[in-house]
Structure 1
Amino acid sequence: MSTLSKPNHIGRKISRIRELRDMKQEALAQALGISQQTISAIENSETIEEDRLSEIAKVLGVTVEAIKSFSEESMINYFNTFNEAVSDSSFGSIHNNKCTFNPLDKLVESFEENKKLYERLLQAEKEKIEYLEKLLKEK
């Protein structure tokens, strides 16, 4: 049975969200401080206590409402919307990164800044040498 056939089966929703998070029952159990068998029992339950549901939601990184309203159909629609947006992009690739600056300009900028820093360091060294020479002449 899927969440489509039993839309109010909280345990199956938790199980599916856990799987989508690529989390094993053992990991969820450890995070909650309970046994893996308890997680299995929870995932086979149609209902769950609000306090426990809140704890599970926190560990899974979702809200209680997200668990309650979860459905496979909504997930499919979400990913279809995402894929349509990607295919509509001007480059037609998943990685549609648009640089808001010219990297070469940034590189030249950093070289110019390094040059200014070097010149300031050189000037400071010259001043130090002049000061030391002045001290030597006074003695």
Structure 2
Amino acid sequence: MSTLTKPNHIGRKISRIRELRDMKQEALAQALGISQQTISAIENSETIEEERLIEVAKALGVTVEAIKSFSEEGMINYFNTFTDTKDSQVNFGNSNNCTFNPLDKLMETVEENKNLYERLLQSEKEKIEYLEKLLKEK
């Protein structure tokens, strides 16, 4: 049975959110300080105590309302909003185009660092010459 046929099955919603967060039952159990078997039992339960639901929501990084109102259709619609209708490619809302060549910027930085190093080296040479001059005078 899917979440669509039993829209109020909190356990399945928790399971699906956990999977979407790329979290294993063991990780969720550890975050809650309970066993993996308890997580399995929670995910198989149609209802859950409010206090436990609050703890689970916090461990999953979502709100209690997000768990209660979770639906597969809602997730599909949410991700479809990121599709750029101008392109056939999905770019997840990133419509920024790079106006410079990153390699050129990197090479500029390398050249700048090289110039700074040469200036530092020249300064150190001048310092050494000055100190040698002072030593010769004494």
| TM band (smaller chain) | 0.7 to 0.9
Moved more, 127-136 or 50-59: 127-136
Match of 1:88 in 2: 86
Q: How many residues align?
A: 136
Tell me whether 1:136 sits opposite 2:131 in the alignment: no
Which consecutive residues of structure 2, in runs of 5 or more, have no partner in the other structure? none
Kindly provide the CA deviation profile for residues 16-45 of structure 1, in whole angstroms up to 9, marking residues without a partner as x.
112222323222222211122221221122
Deviation at 1:65, TM superposition (A): 1.4
> CA separation in 2, counterparts of 1:115 and 1:27?
48
Higher helix share: 1
Runs ≥4 residues deviating over 6 A: none
Match of 2:125 in 1: 126
3-state DSSP of counterpart to 2:116: helix
Match of 2:76 in 1: 76
3-state DSSP of counterpart to 1:88: coil
Tell me whether 1:107 sits opposite 2:123 in the alignment: no
Deviation at 1:93, TM superposition (A): 5.8
What are the equivalent positions in structure 2 for 1:1-139 lying under 5 Å apart? 1-82=1-82, 84-85=83-84, 88-89=86-87, 92=89, 94=91, 98-139=97-138
> CA separation in 1, counterparts of 2:17 and 2:90?
27
Kindly report the root-mean-square deviation, in angstroms, between the aligned alpha carbons of the 2 structures: 2.6
